Structure 1
């Protein structure tokens, strides 16, 4: 893979930003650095980086908010979150945010280069594999907590919407019932696996009422569930 991709580093600590930029430039990448979260979205209106190294804690707009906005407006840009908060890792990779990978501080500059190359390889492979697919039969409206099929509101509950959103953001990935419970219930309440099965059953029925020809929520015996659109 040629290392001529354009990268954006969003980091408010100048020494860390410079260190990452130097190593990445040495490896052939074109690098831009920004230190304020508020500058990111305006910059992206004029530029198209292949990957963003995004710090979690930023002035102006925090990294989690930026990750969500970038995913919404620029879904093909790869994102690696940089954080000193190990307890946030699950959220960073949580599919409602859509980060492709994470790096924990303190880190080795060589690790940064290796992870950037790995994420770009995966991103390019995914783009090649999915070039020209039919549009997804279901779209999500996060602001209104709506799932739409052929423009029609499926009528999901909040829990069903969250369940569908988690799976839709990683098509083909199999989620265990425990993983789905963690995303569905942020208050750590204790629920049984049968509760997840019940929600999935209702979700599948509501989708089938609108899309009777497509089985897009698949069960994997003994493992869990996945979102697998046809085509």
Structure 2
């Protein structure tokens, strides 16, 4: 796999996450006690009703109060908590009152959100642990689901982490109510110029039309996702696998070649 250069931001996040792991002598994901670490770092966690937010952090005297949206699935709740802890670690990303929308927890390039995201990814899915678990395994949503379970994180964060450091070319696309919301592609994925709208050729279109579901990978026309990509060539193949997320009104699409 072609190696992606680490940014200064990513290096900072990796260093701080590993300092914290070493501080609490954590050697595997099973030893990671997120609530315990947050408490030791002077953070009080509570679940509360939030609208339009996944989490927030407020400085209160010498402590910080982390509020997490009620009803989140365990993996998502964990990632949001560690993201907010990242704000506490990187004080320059936090104001007296900081709010994080759900969109801030994915491929966000804004400094004050990207740094906590990188920190959360490394703390929960340390590069060494992640590669040991995922390398040389068949890439499918079965692997992604296993990864999310082992690392106690969300499907979304496991997808993004794999796109960043996994050993196989891949593209992940999240579609909500037939609208393409975000993408995460590995640096060696051969196509980049994504269609702006969901195409009829994608099997995911059937889910939004009549809730039809498909299991496993299916070969698909490249036009389904990359109609105008300059890297397309005769004989190239593209495979689509879909993870259905009815609770959120969306699907996660995995593209492989």
TM-score category by the smaller chain?
A: under 0.3
The TM-score with structure 2 as length reference comes to 0.26
The answer to which structure, 1 or 2, has the higher relative contact order (CA under 8 A, 6+ apart) is 2
The TM-score with structure 1 as length reference comes to 0.28
